[in-house]
Chain A
Amino acid sequence: MRAICSTMYTIPGLQAMTERMDYGEAILSAHRYLLSKYPNVFVIGQGLWSPWYVGSTMKDLDRDFGPERIIDSPISELATTGAAIGASICGYRPIVIHPRMDFMVLAADQMVNQAAKWSHMFGARAHAPVTIRGIINRGGEQGAQHSQALHAWYAHIPGLRVVTPATPRDARDLLIASVLCDDPVLYIDDRWLYHVEEDLPEIEEKDLTREGPLVVREGGDITLVGNGYTTYLCAQAAEELHTQGIECEVVDLRVINPIDYDTIVASVKKTKRLCAVDGGWENCGLAGEIIAGVMERISLSDLASSPTRLTLPSAPSPTSRPLEDAYYIKVEDIVQAVSQKLKVKS
């Protein structure tokens, strides 16, 4: 199952040549590819037969692959996740879908205590190659229990790989890599990215263990580190800052557990400045982890200024529109933080 090849695989209904598609369609194409090529892949979760829950990412899969492989489930996050893990222990490559990761908290025992530890606690005599797809679905005045980005929680757990694609290409290829990986993987996609379009090359089967942070924009003045949606924000902020004469290097984390620091450290050594931007909370969060991880690997003389982080305010998501507007990180917040940082220094 781990055979890594970059050969093209033509799927009926899926155009294989370079094609423009959005992030949601890219996820759909990954599902199609996996379900067509690998008979041991199936999908289970709530709302799979309804675009209301999963947007465009599961369109017509039930029609094309049948309800036995696209299983719209009862309202039982814990048992469905456990069942998928049980099937993964027995040779299958299930994808469990949680249309909002707030509800995925109910499945935490199976993710954290079972899947993540199955290899280690049985001395690698067995493993649980399940993919859990947790969707961040915030905004729209949905409030405290419909909006959370809990990726950092899960990235704390050894044994659970956590993937946060920021681009359509990664949304597609890292989902495929997650399912083909021999470890349990939490794959987190973000509804706020579903509209982002990209020209995608042919599908490439990647080895997830070799995937990690990538420089998605080069620059010499400051390193911006993002993941998922905040990479998208960082890229736009970099564009804006470019017009002000500030050149940002943007590093997209892509895989947040385990974290490979080489690319980030090399970038910070070059730019001498670091701003970590994360759509989660500050305390014990991913942005602080990135800063700590980098600081341990560089000397103080490598830095021209102290590192900065941008995170959500330490509060649950509000519902009221003006509060929600104030709550989420926006491009201008990053622009302001960076220009402030460089102004202070210069």
Chain B
Amino acid sequence: MAESRPLAVSIGDLIDPSNFTHPVDVCDCDTEKLIEQLRMMLLIRYAEEQIGDWVTQDKARCPCHLGIGQEAVAVGVCSVLRSSDRVFGTHRSHSHYLATGGSVEALMAEVLGKVTGCSRGMGGSMHLISEETGFRGSVPIVGATIPLAVGAALAAKMDGNGDIAVAFFGDGAAEEGVLHESLNLAANYTLPVIFVCENNLFASHLHISLRQPAGSVSRYATAHCIRSEMVDGNDIVLVEEAIRREIDGVRSGQGPFFLEAVTYRWRGHVGPREDVDVGVKRNADLKIWKRRDPIRRLAEALEACGALTDSEYERLKAEVRQTIALATQKAEQADYPDARHLLDDVYYSRAASND
């Protein structure tokens, strides 16, 4: 039953930051779509940079976990999804929320705890939701949304519409027992769920080499008879292709798929600092990893093949910056939630009766 794809690259190659710094291969790709993906990656990055600035300015007080450097995973995976699919995230999920099409204005407002936020200001950075685009929730308990995605997949299977669930999680979640239980359930019941592990090599301050005896997280999929693939998570084309190859099988009842996307977190565990001096010293690695920037690699590829000129790229960046500036301004000016939410939202039956 296990049908592990022969690995094109080894985990050793992938975690060596001196590899894979070249522009991504965009031959045979729809360049218009790639430009939209580039726009989305820029949106995620600029939004997170703004959130980081807010933290520095003490305007954002909730814990903000930035995924700068990891944008290609969320955008590559979500490019293949539809809004009736069910996506679940983690503490570090601004990217997943935005990549499904979640409103950037509602994200920015949520981070500031404003009532115009995606969770009406009740969630903050770590509790994002955008049901209309398929983002069904993110939470900071590590691994906690993995079984929720499995249940959403069970529901999708019962619905019979070919919808699937996606669980985003990090390499740290692989150290939680719930991943093991969830993989077993998904494989045992042949559920339509895609597990996406963003292996950014760090759980909080601790490098994976100090937490696990092997660097590859997809070995857990193999143990549970789940097809898996490991890719360069900073290559959006490869991430999307990996999902695209498998998604029809998942939709049509062939069971779960596990993608391990190896990437790197530029900032620290929480907040805007790079944390080169917290826990494992990573200053040298970080410098090299920044050369594997998923945004630069896509932009250079598009420029090299003539799909995007210098001035078009500058205009694209300016447009996205303008979008973030507007969302920032609106969020700062928005109101905080009314006091009634404190108690009324505890029980949905009460909240619904007050709406």
Contacts and interface: CB of A to CB of B under 8 A. Distances in A.
Contacts of A125: 118-120, 129, 131
B148 A181 contact: no
Contact of A123 (B121, B154, B189, B347): B121
Contacts of B131: 125-126
**Which 7 A-B pairs have CB atoms at the shortest separation, nearest pair first?**
A86-B151, A82-B147, A123-B120, A79-B181, A83-B151, A127-B348, A86-B148
B158 A121 contact: no
A161 B185 CA distance: 27
Interface of B: 86, 88, 117-123, 127, 129, 131, 136-137, 139, 141, 144, 146-156, 158-159, 165, 177-178, 181-182, 184-185, 188-189, 337, 341, 344-352, 355
B185 A80 contact: yes
A183 interface: yes
B261 to A, nearest CB: 22
A82 B178 contact: yes
A104 to B, nearest CB: 14
A79 B182 contact: yes
15 contacts: A68-B158, A80-B185, A82-B151, A83-B154, A86-B165, A87-B155, A87-B158, A89-B152, A113-B141, A113-B144, A114-B148, A119-B347, A121-B119, A123-B341, A183-B347
B188 A90 contact: no
Contacts of A129: 348
A3 interface: no
B154 A86 contact: yes
B149 A86 contact: yes
A211 to B, nearest CB: 12
Contacts of A288: none
B352 A122 contact: no
Contacts of A161: 347
Given A2-B349, A124-B341, 6 more contacts: A87-B152, A89-B136, A90-B136, A118-B137, A122-B129, A209-B347
A186 interface: no
Highest count of chain B CB atoms <10 Å: which of A2, A68, A79, A183:
A79
Contacts of B347: 119, 159, 161, 182-183, 209, 258
Nearest to A113: B141
A121 B341 CA distance: 10
A45 to B, nearest CB: 12
The interface residues of chain B, by DSSP majority, are classed as: helix
B156 A209 contact: no
Contacts of A263: none
Interface in A163-216: 181-183, 208-209
A114 B141 contact: yes
Interface of A: 2, 42, 68, 71, 73-74, 76, 78-92, 94, 109-110, 113-114, 118-127, 129, 158-159, 161, 181-183, 208-209, 258
A82 B184 contact: no
A85 B349 contact: no
Contacts of B351: 119, 124
Given A78-B181, A80-B185, A119 B346 contact: yes
Given A86-B150, A86-B154, A92-B158, A124 B348 contact: yes
B152 A82 contact: no
A93 to B, nearest CB: 11
Contacts of B188: 74
A120 B122 contact: yes
A82 B137 contact: no
A124 B120 contact: yes
Given A84-B151, A90-B136, A121-B123, A74 B184 contact: yes
A28 B270 CA distance: 49
A89 B145 CA distance: 12
Contact of B119 (A122, A181, A258): A122
B178 A79 contact: yes
Contacts of B120: 122-125
